Amino acid sequence: MNDLYGDPWLYDLQHDGYRDDLHFYRRLAEDQAGAVLELGAGTGRVTLALAALGLPVVAVEPHPAMRARAAQRLHAAAEHDPGLAARIRLIDADARTLALEERFALVLAPFNTLMHLERLDDQDAALTRAREHLDDGGAFACDVYVPRLGNDAVVRAEPAWSGLAGEQADLLVWQHHDPVQQVVLSHQRLDEVGADGLLRRRRATLRQRYFQRFELERALRAAGFVDVRCYGDFDRGPVREASSVWAFVARG
Ligand SMILES: C[S@@+](CC[C@H](N)C(=O)[O-])C[C@H]1O[C@@H](n2cnc3c(N)ncnc32)[C@H](O)[C@@H]1O
């Protein structure tokens, strides 16, 4: 159902410019000062930022189209900075079944990646594998958005993102929320008028299983993490009513 990941161009149009979380993950990587494992690397937004610090990064991405786009970006980055690309290893694997030989100073699941683990067994498996890949003194970090969901099925325009696609483009987004399953299905339509005057439509959906704060904290503890901290922003501020993200840091 996550066919937004089948259209990495549309994914990047919306998300590649997102920078709010980068200082949070950079600071952790600098503090941990060792190899990084990123789960759900997508098109490499966080991966490239961390490798730019001089650290080796293993980037796990199971979706072939997202991985291909990340590989392209690595290739492009290598032309300017061969060392940076050499520090990144992009692999096809699933966080739930990951079994690498190496251990890492930092394991990350940035930008809602855990929200693709719908079943409790999937969450437990991925978090347990994440902890198993930490070396002594290693840290795990992730972030998920606070589920403050709008009106079901009400269409909204996204002019900022449409603008990136060109003057003749409109991006429309709407969501269906299933409160029983804690699932949000986001639908997107990008309409563009080509030079030939014809309308072209791209469609995508994204299915996410949202968390509540203490639910994720409990899942981290159940997977064996200790010293679990939940922040209400990427500056490590406290959780507040207005927080839009929960950013977690835990120890293995
Ligand atoms: C919202 S994107 C985040 C991408 C990137 N970390 C970023 O910050 O831009 C979530 C990514 O997690 C990946 N993903 C989904 N299920 C996964 C799993 N079981 N194991 C590892 N990655 C997964 C998706 O393919 C997608 O690329």
Q: Rg for the chain (alpha carbons), in Å?
A: 18
CATH code of the domain in which 115 resides: 3.40.50.150
Assign 3-state DSSP to the chain and report helix, strand, coil percentages, each to 5: 35, 30, 35
Same domain, 139 and 238: yes
Residue with the nearest Cα to atom 27 of ligand 1?
42
Per-residue confidence (pLDDT) for residue 195, from 0 to 100? 84
Q: How many domains does the chain have?
A: 2
CA distance 127 to 20: 24
Same domain, 62 and 137: yes
116 and 66 in a common domain = yes
**pLDDT: is 149 or 223 the higher one?**
223
Mean pLDDT of 142-157: 88
Q: How far is the CA of 222 from the centre of ligand 1 (A)?
A: 22
Atom in ligand 1 nearest the alpha carbon of residue 111: 8
Identify the pLDDT of residue 248. 98
The Cβ of residue 83 has, within 10 Å, a number of other Cβ atoms equal to 10
pLDDT digits (tens, 9 = 90+) for 39-56: 999 999 999 999 999 999
Q: Does residue 88 sit in the same domain as residue 160?
A: no
Give the number of other CB atoms < 10 A from CB of residue 136. 7
How far is the centre of ligand 1, averaged over its atoms, from the C-alpha of 141 (Å)? 14
95 lines ligand 1 (CB under 6 A): yes
**Nearest ligand 1 atom to alpha carbon 66:** 27
Q: What's the average model confidence in pLDDT over 236-246?
A: 97
User: Higher-confidence residue: 159 or 110?
Assistant: 110
- Choose the residue to mutate in 36, 116, 123, 186 for probing ligand 1, maximizing ligand atoms within 8 Å of C-beta: 116
What's the rounded Cα separation, in Å, for the pair 211 and 108?
17
Encode pLDDT of 165-205 as tens digits: 777 888 888 999 999 999 999 999 999 888 888 999 999 99
The residue among 188 and 1 whose pLDDT is bigger is 188
98-124 average pLDDT score: 98
Tell me the residue range of the domain where 175 lies: 156-209
Percent of the chain at pLDDT above 70? 99
pLDDT of 2 > 70? The answer is: no
Q: Is 76 in the same domain as 161?
A: no
Tell me: do 141 and 56 sit in the same domain.
yes
Q: Is the CB of 62 under 6 A from ligand 1?
A: yes
SS3 34: coil
* pLDDT for residue 1 is more than 60: no
* CA 195 to ligand 1 center in whole angstroms: 34
Residues 137, 201, single domain; the answer is no
> Measured in Å, how far apart are the chain's first and last C-alpha atoms?
33
In this structure, the answer to whether residues 162 and 236 fall within a common structural domain is no
pTM above 0.85, yes or no: yes
Instruction: Determine the average pLDDT of the residues in 68-83.
Output: 93
Higher pLDDT, residue 197 or 24: 24
Q: Are residues 233 and 197 in the same domain?
A: no
The pLDDT mean for the chain works out to 94
**One domain, residues 113 and 234:** yes
Q: Give yes or no: residues 191 and 203 share one domain.
A: yes
φ, ψ (nearest 5 deg) of residue 178: -110, 95
Q: What pLDDT is attached to residue 184?
A: 94
182 contact partners, CB below 8 Å, separation of at least 6: 147, 209, 210, 211
DSSP state of 63: -
Instruction: Give residue 154's pLDDT.
Output: 84
What distance lies between CA 44 and its chain's CA centroid? 10
Ligand 1 and 15: CB distance under 6 A: yes
Give the Å distance between the CA of 117 and the centre of ligand 1.
10
Query: Furthest-apart CA pair in the chain: how many Å?
Result: 60
Phi, psi values for residue 4, rounded to 5°: -60, -35
Indicate whether 141 and 48 sit together in one domain.
yes
| Residue 139 and residue 229 in contact, taking contact as beta carbons nearer than 8 Å | no
Rounded CA gap, 221 and 217, in Å? Answer: 6
